[in-house]
Amino acid sequence: MTPQLYDISDVAKFLKTNKNMVYKLIDTGHLTALKLGRLKVTCYELEDFIRRNNGKDFTDLQNVTQLTRNTINS
């Protein structure tokens, strides 16, 4: 059975990034979390985040843009 809630470490592994990036995604409102002792992200939110943001460049979280050929090659 797939877990319904992921902790920050699990989210980082799933997104192939680090925990600091996950915290930044939450702090900037790009990813929604809930706090049950520690921060958790639902599997539905994680799947929705990927669907909503497919094709976007999160290099600068204050200025998320669509991926272009230039951003892919740099």
Domains of the chain, residue spans = 5-66
d(C-alpha 11, C-alpha 6), whole Å: 6
Regions of the chain where pLDDT drops below 50: none
pTM reported for the whole predicted model? 0.84
What pLDDT is stored for residue 2 in this prediction?
62
d(C-alpha 20, C-alpha 63), whole Å: 18
What pLDDT is stored for residue 1 in this prediction?
53
**Other CB atoms within 10 A of residue 61 CB:** 13
